[in-house]
Amino acid sequence: MLYSLIRKFFFSIDPEIAHGLGMNGVEFLKRSGIACLLTKPVPPNPVTVMGLTFPNPVGLAAGLDKNGEHVDALAGLGFGFIEIGTVTPRPQPGNPRPRMFRIPEKQALINRLGFNNQGVEQLLVNIANARFTRRGGILGINIGKNFDTPIERAVDDYLICLERVYKPASYITVNISSPNTKNLRELQKDDALDALLGRLKTEQTRLADKHGKYVPLALKIAPDLEDAQIQSIADLLRKHRMDGVIATNTTLSRDGVQGLPNAEEAGGLSGAPVFERSTAVLKKLSGALAGELPIIGVGGIMCGADALAKMEAGASLVQIYSGFIYHGPGLVTEIATALAKAGNSKRARMYSATATMVECPMPKGDNSKALPPF
């Protein structure tokens, strides 16, 4: 109930301003020790993926904390792992505002942020004193290319970021699927992806020798892929012995939101409407990989049943972003509890079957039609 009141205030103001205030609020909860007002203890449910042991399988997706400024505060909300970024070699402002839009009727967001971030060097400064990693917390760092780097030189930007974040990262995500950087998704195509993964794996080997530790590499893909593309990506992931894959990023489709305010804004759509498309890609990718690589499922998770459906489709871990915006920190506990109770694949199948039949409820106290669709 408390978060529904907080959300009503946030949804009455510009999304980017609300985001800044929200992150300040998370920091206040940490400093004051009252996070318990918005969340409950998360049950332990350790799982080993990519050679890392996660205390629970519920993570925060990249994008909420682009510069790694709030790692410790976010960790206090019960996440099993946190992914920061996307970060680029040089600072960049991103696309012009406005660039974030809500579609509250469908628990959806559209963004065209464009990798706005302070650059990789500032991110390293920001996370240097984070207690989360010193205490064994799992921190993923999501890397991308600068908007003005020609696509034919994109690999240079990824290699710069890989070298700089390798030491502090628990794992590194290669983001080639944002729809908001011109031509970025071209890197998902056969020859370009083959070349990129080859260079990254060579550098990973060099850095592992240099630092005396192996940091897993994961690839983040789009939901807007044909079956042949999914198979091709799976083949290249196996060929280059990638450590994991994240399925999926936001979609360019507007299925499920047509005709609603803001639906025609340019950018990537996230939230509840992307769930089916994202989960379908995840399932097909899981079949193509045949268990050779773990998958992190993300896209439209709004309740515990959604997360269980992702697991049944083939995910080993899940991440949330839009669901966190709409449902608040309590969603972390809800999902973690549902996954812990499921316990085994048979139970997970039972829950996921429910998820396909029952739509996740709207946030408690929701009055979305009365909220300004900023």
DSSP output for 263-320: TTSSSEEEEGGGHHHHHHHHHHHHHHHTTSS-EEEES---SHHHHHHHHHHT-SEEEE
Q: How many CA atoms lie within 13 A of 239 on its CB side?
A: 16
CB 108 within 8 A of CB 299: no
Catalytic residue among 178, 232, 270, 286: 178
Handedness of CA 33, 35, 40, 45 (dihedral sign): negative
CB 251 within 8 A of CB 224: yes
353 burial via Cβ count (<10 Å: 0-12, 13-18, 19+): middle
DSSP output for 212-256: TS---EEEEE-S---HHHHHHHHHHHHHTT-SEEEE---BS--TT
CB 74 within 8 A of CB 65: yes
- Which DSSP state fits 327? H
Phi, psi of 329 (to 5 degrees): -60, -25
Asked if 178 is an active-site residue, the reply is: yes
- Which DSSP state fits 261? T
Contacts (Cβ under 8 Å, ≥6 apart) of 264: 254
Handedness of CA 106, 326, 140, 79 (dihedral sign): negative
What amino acid positions are annotated as catalytic residues? 178
